[in-house]
A = this chain, B = another copy of it.
Amino acid sequence: MLITSIMVGSSLQSDEGMWTLDNLPKKNLEEKYNFKFSDKWLKNAQLASVRFNDGGSGAFVSPKGLVLTNHHVAMGQLQKMSTKKADYVKEGFFTKELKEEKKCPDLELNILVSMEDVTKKVVNASTNENTDKVKNEKRKEEIAKIEKASSDKTGLRSDVVELYDGGEYWLYRYKKYTDVRLVMAPELQAASFGGDPDNFNYPRFALDFAFFRVYENDKPIDSKNYFKWSKNGAKEDELVFVFGHPGSTERQKTMSQISFQKDYSFPEYVKLLKYKLNLFRQYGEKGKEEKRRAKDYILGMENSLKAIEGELNGLKDKKILAAMQEREDKLQKLVIENPELKKDFGDVWNRIDSIQKKMISRHKEFYYRSASNAKLVGIAIKLVRYASEIQKPNEKRYEEYRDSNLESLKFRLLSPAPIYADIEEMMIENSLHLAVENLGREDEFVKLALADKSPKYLAKALLTKTKLMDVSQRKELLSGGLEAIHKSKDPLILWALQIDPILRKDRDWYDDEIESVQAIEGNKLSQLKFKAYGKSTYPDATFTLRMSYGTVKGFTDDSTIQIPFKTTYYGLFDRAESFDNKDPFTLATKIAENKSVINMSKPLNFITTNDITGGNSGSPVINRKGEYVGLIFDGNSYSHVLSYAYTDDKARAVSVHSEGIIEALRSVYKMEKLVREIIGE
């Protein structure tokens, strides 16, 4: 069934597209929906949209810096703010006044302020070079120069974004906020009702929302661009827009790239995730506090696992693969039959294919030559690298150590968020076990990292004496430069110094052998597509601001089951009662307690045909008037395939309904003041 509405070639289907704001599908919106937006409408949406730098989206919903996002986007911070005694994840967090709002340890929010096409500069910088390696270096140096010049000049966070797999480069400038305070979060059980079984499924009944407030100089900012709250929320069949930051998609990838993912990369990732998930589940069973500590790791991995398995499943669908193959064949035929195109583009697919082959032989190393899933290992390696990278000229550094990125890097490195020694030790030990198991004792990394010790012994030794948990220690090492690093006796720093050379060698190999070819051939492939189809399409997702449009619409499952466009509070209670209130279908305490005052008819969640993917979590759903009608928090199981191709047959984006949020704030959480701020009364 899916095949009927899959994008083939450049002819876009229905509501397809994650559009950059410089290239919106104005014609389609006018023709299909009789909708024209004003510059003011668009500018407001742009400036009211928020990127959560730890992976998610959000939006301003009041003029006083109030930001609404998902609970699961907020959860990283909630977990970091929680302790054994105050578990905000489990119990929720509620404030009555500004002074109760609590600062997040390391949350950075970005607002896209301006965009500038810098494709020519970036591409021209490497045109005259001969080797892939040097071309790639010149390209990256040029990007570094553009970013630094912009951030020096404007003071804004300045990122050069690669779009269309290198077909275009744009300078995105962001206003950056780091004083972000938690205003309100419901209990996890209300936010993630149904747990892993209901995740990526629909009907859903989740209050997956949380409120933050942005401060500057210890005061809430004036967020004059914000989304006004809709009086009635999303209605069936209406046109809606999602502004958010989809993370990544693979729609422009070649079949050879997709095959690599399908046959090598994803299966390995699934294996790794299952191993780690199992590890954390066992850890969480040790006790109440361990359960609390493991919670967000487990939820995150369950989510990734389901998403990746869903994508793999989508790729097993022969119809989808055939459609993708047909699209590629069509383009190749065009090249083969045209001598001029053949000269310029004839070698593109072979070259891309050749780097996939290189990756096949080494992809396991990129999964297992690492222990940096342990937070402290990541910190140690960053401290070590920082000290040496900043010795280099700006444009010669690794991207994350360039001047324009240092502020964000330091913000994260010096986060006061708690780090738990037992989890760290477990992670290091098991990363090393995995490395031995998958790469063998003779692997260069394994030999260097273990130095004949057992993973268990080494992990214990590293963790017992390290002081990196202490933020002031990190600060000292950060400011002390190379000298401080080389003087340090911290076992994790010593270990990082020991293993970093091999990790750098791997990264350099990747940059020189893989990324370089990818950038060059990606650019060519995009040029070819532009030539063939015009710029009627949108680039793959890059965790930058995109607009998608769609309609509020149910679907038909299993050929006959009618799935309605929305759910209600009645449905939440039905699902809980239907499972006799068993975990994960237990009603959150506050919801159960307030049963008698909840208006059960109020909509809770709803679905739309918008084209979204991971990273869109927390995105605002707005109506024609630019009013806030819903909050993206999930896609249904049919939407996993959206990584490869858009379909609106059964794939749906899932949102919390704006009315459902108000009902919860009022009847369940008694936060009338917050409600008044949102609805502007």
- A139-188 contacts to B, CB under 8 A, are none
Cβ contact within 8 Å between B580 and A601: no
Chain A 533-565, CB within 8 Å of chain B: the 1/0 string?
000000000000000000000000111111011
Cβ contact within 8 Å between A198 and B562: yes
Query: What's the nearest-Cβ distance from chain B to residue A238, in Å?
Result: 13
Interface assignment of A575: CB less than 8 Å from any CB of chain B: yes
User: Which residue on B lies nearest to A600, using beta carbons?
Assistant: B573
Cβ contact within 8 Å between B560 and A558: no
Query: What's the nearest-Cβ distance from chain B to residue A126, in Å?
Result: 46
User: Which residue on B lies nearest to A236, using beta carbons?
Assistant: B580
Cβ contact within 8 Å between A578 and B568: yes
Secondary structure at the A interface, as helix, strand, loop or mixed, is: mixed
In the docked arrangement, what's the CA distance between A677 and B578, Å?
28
Given contacts A236-B580, A564-B575, A573-B570, contact A558 B600 (CB under 8 A): no
- A584-621 contacts to B, CB under 8 A, are 585, 600-601, 603
Interface assignment of A248: CB less than 8 Å from any CB of chain B: no
Cβ contact within 8 Å between B560 and A567: no
Chain B residues closer than 8 Å to A13, beta-carbon distance: none
Most buried by B among A201, A564, A600: A564
Interface assignment of A200: CB less than 8 Å from any CB of chain B: yes
Query: What's the nearest-Cβ distance from chain B to residue A660, in Å?
Result: 12
In the docked arrangement, what's the CA distance between A59 and B570, Å?
33
In the docked arrangement, what's the CA distance between A355 and B561, Å?
39
Chain B residues closer than 8 Å to A529, beta-carbon distance: none
Chain B residues closer than 8 Å to A370, beta-carbon distance: none
Chain B residues closer than 8 Å to A201, beta-carbon distance: 558, 560-561
- A187-239 contacts to B, CB under 8 A, are 197-198, 200-201, 203, 236
Query: What's the nearest-Cβ distance from chain B to residue A607, in Å?
Result: 11
Cβ contact within 8 Å between B573 and A577: no
In the docked arrangement, what's the CA distance between A570 and B569, Å?
9
Given contacts A236-B580, A580-B236, contact A568 B573 (CB under 8 A): yes
Query: What's the nearest-Cβ distance from chain B to residue A285, in Å?
Result: 22
Cβ contact within 8 Å between A577 and B558: no
Query: What's the nearest-Cβ distance from chain B to residue A604, in Å?
Result: 9
Interface assignment of A306: CB less than 8 Å from any CB of chain B: yes
Interface assignment of A46: CB less than 8 Å from any CB of chain B: no
Given contacts A236-B580, A601-B577, contact A197 B570 (CB under 8 A): no
Chain B residues closer than 8 Å to A560, beta-carbon distance: 197, 200-201, 306, 637
Cβ contact within 8 Å between B558 and A568: no
Chain B residues closer than 8 Å to A306, beta-carbon distance: 560
Chain A 446-478, CB within 8 Å of chain B: the 1/0 string?
000000000000000000000000000000000
Cβ contact within 8 Å between A637 and B573: no
Chain B residues closer than 8 Å to A35, beta-carbon distance: none
Cβ contact within 8 Å between B574 and A567: yes
- A231-277 contacts to B, CB under 8 A, are 236
Most buried by B among A571, A575, A577, A637: A577
Interface assignment of A64: CB less than 8 Å from any CB of chain B: no
Cβ contact within 8 Å between B578 and A571: yes
In the docked arrangement, what's the CA distance between A562 and B566, Å?
19
Q: What are the 8 A-B residue pairs with the smallest beta carbon separation, nearest first?
A: A571-B574, A564-B578, A570-B574, A570-B573, A568-B577, A197-B562, A570-B570, A564-B579
Interchain Cβ contacts under 8 Å between A and B, 27 examples: A197-B562, A200-B560, A201-B560, A203-B578, A306-B560, A557-B558, A558-B558, A561-B637, A562-B579, A564-B578, A565-B578, A566-B578, A567-B574, A568-B577, A570-B570, A570-B571, A570-B573, A570-B574, A570-B577, A571-B571, A571-B575, A571-B578, A573-B600, A573-B601, A577-B600, A577-B601, A577-B603
